[in-house]
């Protein structure tokens, strides 16, 4: 109770009031509640009580955790472990977190001492199981946190592998933002007669979050965002982009405008992600630009502002993004910058949350005067690409191929007439099939015992050649070159025919005789 008081908790939230008694009773529980309502405390507090009241059957052996908590992302794993330590700081229970991106050997060293609670991502947990540095035979409680996100990220097989290693007699807790059919199907194989806890209707953002939309051209978004941050003197804002490259570019723009910023996404190393998140939490960083990978793993106390620089493709992700603010009774604001090409995403979001988001205009914003005209006039259009010329892509000296990708043979007159330009042959012998990667003028032969060229009678599935990989050979003089038939071929050995200007060599076939047939 001292730890709870230190955390500032006075009365339980709705999900805590419903879930904690059920978990204390020892049964399996499925809980769903909107983000920021105290779900972590709802399962952590009764688990701590259970572990303290019931003695360990493994006599504090190393590498035998009593509770396993699985999360989809590193950030969420770190957040949950921090919460467990906060609530259990006046107990003797030991907790550790495991995830990828950092040295596994430090984790192995920690596992050599007694651990009561392990918080981990599925992938790193399986790494330890493979190395036999962790034994799950003593797990008494399994928690699947953000189970719907784990399914979205493709962890279903990993979860099944892990649960197969757990003892049959255990308590199972599943927490999810939704009770979709996929979640219900997953629960049938893991939970036993679970009790359902759902405190709010599905896809309901917190009423404490003030939502708004500003319609703006895509190329003006970074300028508008920079203006908003400086004009309103925002000190802490979490910005979501749709892509990692977009996050990096936006961060560079904000830094150039004198706004302290950092990007956090899956391409960043774990130390870099941890550093950026720490700086953002302690206030030394004003803007954290993130992708959806961390939309469910960030828990920043009293975060005032969230900006959707780009709307997510999936409407439910919008709810999790703006759920980073308006948490634990604190009010927050969520602004979405929407280009006209994103209007279909906006309509879907409004349909899911069952409300229209107010549209606002920042009258104080004036686009920079030095922007190119097309930036202010319209959305970006596809630019015309320069046409290829023979001098750029072909060598017409009649002696060798000169395409930079080495996918052509012969002269300009001998180009392959194909969308993928992976055929060889003269103009009269162009390959007309846009899907086959071989010439249509000969049968299958071995070329210098290295590669094959395939003909019209070659099996599409078994004799495809590497014609895009420069597997064809050419002749630079008029000398005939004998070739040996490929194994299994019913054709006799062939020879190159003579062609003018050393064009691509073509095979001439002759009727095989029974005397020399293989």
Dihedral sign (CA 367, 369, 371, 376): positive
> Total domain count for the chain?
3
Which pair of structure tokens corresponds to residue 121?
């991502």
- Residue 340 falls inside a structural domain: yes
Q: In this predicted structure, what is the pLDDT of residue 131?
A: 95
**pLDDT tens digits, residue range 246-287?**
999 999 999 999 999 999 998 898 889 889 999 999 999 999
Q: Which of 61, 54, 77 is nearest to 140 (CA)?
A: 54
Residue 479 has pLDDT above 50, yes or no: no
Q: In this predicted structure, what is the pLDDT of residue 6?
A: 82
- Residue 296 falls inside a structural domain: yes
Q: Does 411 lie in the same domain as 372?
A: no
Q: Is 198 exposed, middle or buried (0-12, 13-18, 19+ CB in 10 A)?
A: middle
Dihedral sign (CA 102, 105, 108, 112): negative
Q: Does 432 lie in the same domain as 329?
A: no
Band of residue 457 on the pLDDT scale cut at 50, 70, 90: very low
Averaged pLDDT for residues 377-400: 39
**pLDDT tens digits, residue range 3-24?**
888 877 888 888 999 999 999 9
Q: Which H/E stretch holds residue 446?
A: strand 445-447
Cα radius of gyration (the chain): 32
Identify the top-confidence range among 127-141, 143-157, 372-386, 400-414: 127-141
DSSP calls for 136-204 = -TT--EEEETTHHHHHHTT-HHHHHHHHHTS-SS-EEEEE-S---HHHHHHHHTT-SSPEEEE-S-TT-
Q: Does 367 lie in the same domain as 460?
A: no
- Residue 341 falls inside a structural domain: yes
CB 57 within 8 A of CB 107: no
CA distances 207 to 37, 198, 304, 317, 333, Å, are 12, 17, 14, 17, 11
- Residue 382 falls inside a structural domain: no
Output the CA torsion 307→311→313→319 (10° steps).
50
Rounded Cα gap, residues 326 and 494, in angstroms: 78
Q: Does 214 lie in the same domain as 192?
A: no
The total number of residues written for the chain in this structure:
518
Q: Which of 248, 80, 105 is nearest to 96 (CA)?
A: 80
Domain that holds residue 193: 2-198
Q: In this predicted structure, what is the pLDDT of residue 518?
A: 37
Give the distance from CA 76 to its chain's centroid: 15
- Residue 475 falls inside a structural domain: yes
Residue 31 CB neighbour total at 10 angstroms: 24
Averaged pLDDT for residues 433-437: 41
Q: Does 217 lie in the same domain as 184?
A: no
More confident residue, 336 or 39: 336
Q: Does 216 lie in the same domain as 353?
A: yes
- Residue 384 falls inside a structural domain: no
Averaged pLDDT for residues 396-415: 40
Q: Does 168 lie in the same domain as 102?
A: yes
Q: Does 153 lie in the same domain as 7?
A: yes
Rounded Cα gap, residues 36 and 209, in angstroms: 11
Q: Does 354 lie in the same domain as 308?
A: yes
Residue 452 has pLDDT above 70, yes or no: no
More confident residue, 463 or 355: 355
Residue 245 has pLDDT above 90, yes or no: yes
Q: 262 forms bridges with which residues in the sheet?
A: 288
> Percentage of the chain surpassing pLDDT 90?
46
Which pair of structure tokens corresponds to residue 97?
């977190």
Q: Does 317 lie in the same domain as 254?
A: yes
Identify the top-confidence range among 66-70, 378-382, 475-479: 66-70
Q: In this predicted structure, what is the pLDDT of residue 225?
A: 96
- Residue 233 falls inside a structural domain: yes
- Furthest-apart CA pair in the chain: how many Å? 98
Q: Does 245 lie in the same domain as 183?
A: no
Predicted model pTM = 0.61
Q: Does 154 lie in the same domain as 88?
A: yes
| Domain end residue (candidates: 178, 198, 218) | 198
> Percentage of the chain surpassing pLDDT 70?
68
Band of residue 328 on the pLDDT scale cut at 50, 70, 90: low
Residue 408 has pLDDT above 50, yes or no: no
- Residue 383 falls inside a structural domain: no
**pLDDT tens digits, residue range 21-34?**
999 999 999 998 77
DSSP strand pairing (67-70 vs 141-144): parallel
Band of residue 300 on the pLDDT scale cut at 50, 70, 90: confident
Averaged pLDDT for residues 395-423: 41
Give the distance from CA 434 to its chain's centroid: 33
Averaged pLDDT for residues 102-118: 93
More confident residue, 62 or 118: 118
DSSP strand pairing (287-290 vs 237-240): parallel
Range with lowest mean pLDDT among 137-141, 151-155, 190-194, 390-394: 390-394
| Domain end residue (candidates: 179, 198, 217) | 198
Q: In this predicted structure, what is the pLDDT of residue 497?
A: 44
Mean confidence (pLDDT) of the chain: 76
Q: In this predicted structure, what is the pLDDT of residue 409?
A: 41
Indicate the DSSP class of residue 100: S
Which pair of structure tokens corresponds to residue 30?
């499925």
Cα angle vertex 338, ends 336, 340, to 5°?
165
Helices 39-53 and 74-87: crossing angle in degrees, nearest 10, is: 50
DSSP strand pairing (445-447 vs 451-453): antiparallel
Domain CATH code at residue 54: 3.40.50.300
**pLDDT tens digits, residue range 116-147?**
999 999 999 999 999 999 999 999 999 999 89
Residue 79 CB neighbour total at 10 angstroms: 23
| Domain end residue (candidates: 151, 174, 198) | 198
Residue 392 has pLDDT above 80, yes or no: no
């Amino acid at each position: 109770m001292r730890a709870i008081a230190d955390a500032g908790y006075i009365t339980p939230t709705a999900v805590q009031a419903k879930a904690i008694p059920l978990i204390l009773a020892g049964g399996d529980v499925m809980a769903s509640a909107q983000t920021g309502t105290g779900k972590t405390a709802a399962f952590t507090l009764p688990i701590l009580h259970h572990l303290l009241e019931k003695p360990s059957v493994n006599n504090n052996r190393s590498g035998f955790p009593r509770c396993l908590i699985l999360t989809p992302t590193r950030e969420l794993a770190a957040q949950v472990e921090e919460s467990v330590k906060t609530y259990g700081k006046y107990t003797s229970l030991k907790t550790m977190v495991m995830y990828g991106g950092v040295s596994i050997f430090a984790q192995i060293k920690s596992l050599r001492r007694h651990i009561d609670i392990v918080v981990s991502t599925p992938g790193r947990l399986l790494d330890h199981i493979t190395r036999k540095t962790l034994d799950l035979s003593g797990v008494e409680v399994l928690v699947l946190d953000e189970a719907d996100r784990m399914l979205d990220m493709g962890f279903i097989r990993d979860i099944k592998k892990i649960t197969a290693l757990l003892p049959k007699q255990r308590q199972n807790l599943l927490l999810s933002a939704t009770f979709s059919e996929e979640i219900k199907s997953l629960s049938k194989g893991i939970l036993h007669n679970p009790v359902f806890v759902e405190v709010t209707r599905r896809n309901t953002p917190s009423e404490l979050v003030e939502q708004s939309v500003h319609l703006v051209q895509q190329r003006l978004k970074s300028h508008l965002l920079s203006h908003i941050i400086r004009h309103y003197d925002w000190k802490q804002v979490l910005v979501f982009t749709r892509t990692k490259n977009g996050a990096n570019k936006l961060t560079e723009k904000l830094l150039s405008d004198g706004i302290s910023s950092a990007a956090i996404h899956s391409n960043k190393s774990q130390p870099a992600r941890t550093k950026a998140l720490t700086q953002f939490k302690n206030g030394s960083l004003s803007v954290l630009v993130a992708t959806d990978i961390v939309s469910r793993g960030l828990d920043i106390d009293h975060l005032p502002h969230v900006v959707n620089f780009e709307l997510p493709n999936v409407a439910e992700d919008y709810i999790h993004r703006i759920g980073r603010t308006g948490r634990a009774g604190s009010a927050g604001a969520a602004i979405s910058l929407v280009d006209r090409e994103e209007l279909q995403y906006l309509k879907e979001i409004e349909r899911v949350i069952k409300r229209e988001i107010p549209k606002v205009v920042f009258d104080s914003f004036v686009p920079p005067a030095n922007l190119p005209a097309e930036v202010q006039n319209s959305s970006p259009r596809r630019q015309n690409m320069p046409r290829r010329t023979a001098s750029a892509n072909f060598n017409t000296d009649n002696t060798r191929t000169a395409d930079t990708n080495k996918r052509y043979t012969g002269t300009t007159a001998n180009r392959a007439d194909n969308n993928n330009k992976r055929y060889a042959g003269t103009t009269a012998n162009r390959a007309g099939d846009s899907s086959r990667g071989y010439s249509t003028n000969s049968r299958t032969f071995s070329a210098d015992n290295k590669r094959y060229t395939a003909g019209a009678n070659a099996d599409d599935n078994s004799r495809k050649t590497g014609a895009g990989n420069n597997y064809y050979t050419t002749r630079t003089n008029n000398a005939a070159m004998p070739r040996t038939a490929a194994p299994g071929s019913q054709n006799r050995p062939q020879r190159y025919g003579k062609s003018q200007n050393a064009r691509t060599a073509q095979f001439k076939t002759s009727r095989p005789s029974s005397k020399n047939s293989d």
